[in-house]
């Protein structure tokens, strides 16, 4: 399946989402904040074909240290073709993502089915190409 970088500061939400992604057979690398997520992005060398090491960045918007907006900005520069899904419980934060390469913003709270469907919809083209 796909390799996903999950960045979420709430441990319970991170564990919930990680379980959902693992159920669908994805390889998940998780980080507890934007700085740790950025370190994971920098530590992973691109695949041989130049594609990003991750097939998807799934990040919370509002986090301490480096928030998801700043992390996504860095990710867009490093890997402009890597899709990004953002999660937020703060409606006022959604507009901050307008200038970024964000495919979808998922509103919290969400169900297991909601997050699995969002990830599947974004990754579907890559899954078809890989399969």
Q: Which residue has the higher pLDDT, 97 or 21?
A: 21
CA neighbor of 123 nearest in space, from 36, 37, 58? 58
- If one compares 93 and 63, the residue with the highest pLDDT of the two is 63
What are the strands of the beta sheet with 84-88, ordered from one edge? 27-31, 3-7, 56-60, 84-88, 104-107
Which two structure tokens, joined as six digits, stand for 4?
Answer: 């996903």
Compute how many other C-beta atoms are within 10 angstroms of the C-beta atom of residue 41. Answer: 21
Bridge partners (DSSP) of residue 104 are 85
pTM of the model: 0.87
Assess whether pLDDT exceeds 80 at residue 35: yes
Q: What is the pLDDT of residue 39?
A: 95
Q: Tokens 């860095």 map to which residue? A: 74
Residue ranges and CATH numbers for the domains of the chain are 3-130 (3.40.50.2300)
Distance CA 87, CA 110 (A): 9
């Amino acid at each position: 399946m796909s390799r996903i970088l999950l960045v979420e500061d709430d441990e319970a939400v991170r564990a919930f989402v990680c379980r959902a992604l693992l159920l669908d057979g994805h390889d998940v690398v998780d980080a507890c904040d934007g700085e740790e997520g950025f370190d994971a992005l920098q530590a992973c060398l691109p695949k041989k074909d130049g594609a990003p090491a991750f097939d998807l960045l799934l990040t919370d918007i509002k986090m301490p240290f480096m928030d998801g907006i700043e992390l996504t900005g860095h990710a867009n520069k490093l890997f402009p073709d890597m899709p990004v899904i953002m999660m937020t419980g703060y409606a006022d934060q959604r507009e901050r993502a307008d200038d970024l390469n964000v495919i979808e913003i998922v509103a919290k709270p969400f169900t297991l089915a909601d997050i699995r469907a969002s990830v599947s919809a974004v990754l579907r083209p890559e899954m078809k190409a890989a399969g």
